[in-house]
Copies of this chain bind each other. A is one copy, B any other.
Amino acid sequence: MITPPSAVVLAEARQRLTALATPTGALGRLEGLAAWLAACQGVCPPRPLDRVRAVILAGDHGVSHDRVSAYPRAVTAVMVRAFCAGRAGANSLARQHGVSLRVLDLGVDDDLEELPAEVSAYRVGPSEPIDRADALSAADCRYALRAGQIIADVEIDAGADLLIVGDMGIGNTTPAAAVIAATFGLTADQVVGRGTGIDDVRLRRKSEVIAAALRRVGDRAADPEVRLAALGAADFAATVGFLRTAARRGVPVLLDGIVSVAAAGVAEDLEPGMIAWCAAGHRSTEPAQQLALEKLGLEPILDLDLRLGEGTGALTALPVLRSAALLLAEVALLEDLLPAPAGD
């Protein structure tokens, strides 16, 4: 069981919010975000989020051979190279907001040989097609969970005061939707979404792949680690390990799209209480992400129809979370603004 953020500081933050020179409740959802951050930090007012660190965990997926995406499998490697060159959406957002960004290959179907060796330092390999085989062996899943732990440890040791984990992998919304269905008892039709923008034919195919995977795995999915190995991928397992480590070490996380939220569902089953360290950056257009956020009790900061992945939803939401913290710290208390009562 994970130690929750401080209830004492949460109460202190709520009290301070009512004393600010703003009408009670006028800061809306910024109030809850500010109080949550204070509780995570164990101090009110919270410190500004000056050392935000993001990682993108990339991998290829067996299902991407099966026409479930609008893009060819090779695009995963193209985008990993783009991250390393600083030219993708996540890079632009990370630069804007002063966020450190690393990309790591957990199982890209490409040797990426011209990239720095550390990019593939935790590589496990692409997943199997989940409708026909377990995505990963149990041993590979454990290895990837452990890799995610180390990846988070590195960021936390570097001083992270907030973590973001993004995803890259053509086809990855198929296993992510399957993991969410298995975690929350939903059907393939409920969780399937258009991912990168697929047509109706591919959408039906994708739903069939998810349904077949759920049938194949059956009751084995009740065990969160088995579920992850059977329906997930190496990059998903690393994401689960990353989230679990952040919560264990008391570092808050801003979740992104369907992959990070699928991983959060598994991480919460593995390590109850983990989700108290997470806020949701945005509501994606993927139905599975929306359903999982609801089941996890998370209300997203942004709702802008984003569906890019890469951590971009969380990175776009970051300034709002930062503002919440700064408002709680910087706005005057009403009593300090009112004229002192007359007296000698």
Q: Are A337 and B22 in contact (CB under 8 A)?
A: no
Do A89 and B306 touch across chains, with their CB atoms under 8 A apart?
Answer: no
Chain B contacts of A319 at CB under 8 A? Answer: 96-97, 319-320
Q: Give complex CA distance A196, B322 in Å.
A: 24
Are B308 and A22 interface neighbours, CB within 8 A?
yes
Query: With an 8 A cutoff between CB atoms, is A15 at the interface?
Result: no
Q: Give the residues in chain B near A338, CB-CB below 8 Å.
A: 78
Chain A: interface residue count, which band?
35 or more
Given contacts A302-B302, A316-B30, A21 and B327 within 8 Å (CB-CB): no
A82 vs chain B, min Cβ distance (A): 5
A249 contacts B by Cβ under 8 Å: no
Contact B197 A92 (CB under 8 A): no
Which of B22, B29, B30, B96 contacts A323 (CB under 8 A)? Answer: B96
A28-47 contact mask (Cβ, 8 Å, vs B): 1 or 0: 11100000000000000000
A327 to B312, CA, bound (A): 10
| A332 within 8 Å of B (CB atoms) | yes
A113 within 8 Å of B by Cβ?
A: no
CB distance from A280 to the nearest CB of B (A): 13
Best-buried of A85, A196, A331, A336 by chain B (most CB within 10 Å): A331
Q: How far is the CB of A69 from chain B (nearest CB, A)?
A: 9
Over the window 120-148 of chain A, the binary record of Cβ atoms lying under 8 Å from chain B Cβ atoms (1 yes, 0 no) is: 00000000000000000000000000000
Q: Cβ of A296: which chain B residues have Cβ within 8 Å of it? A: none
> Using Cβ atoms and an 8 Å threshold, which residues of chain B touch A222?
none
A27-B95 Cα distance, complex, nearest whole Å: 17
Interface string of A318-332 (1 = CB under 8 A from B): 011011001100111
- Residue-wise, chain A 299-310 has the 8 Å CB interface mask toward B (1 for contact) of 001111111100
Among B23, B89, B332, which residue has its beta carbon within 8 angstroms of that of A87? Answer: B332
* Complexed CA–CA distance, A181 and B323 (Å): 33
A254 to chain B, nearest CB (A): 14
Are the CB atoms of A27 and B332 closer together than 8 Å?
Answer: no
A285 in contact (CB, < 8 A): yes
- Distance between A27 CB and nearest chain B CB, rounded to angstroms: 6
Q: Taking the nearest CB of chain B, how far is it from the CB of A246, in angstroms?
A: 24
Which of chain B's residues have a CB closer than 8 A to the CB of A332?
82, 85, 87-88
Q: Which residues of B contact A30 (CB under 8 A)?
A: 304, 306, 316
Q: Would you give 14 A-B contacts (Cβ < 8 Å), ordered by A?
A: A20-B89, A21-B79, A21-B82, A23-B197, A24-B197, A26-B307, A26-B308, A27-B312, A28-B306, A30-B306, A78-B337, A85-B332, A92-B323, A301-B304
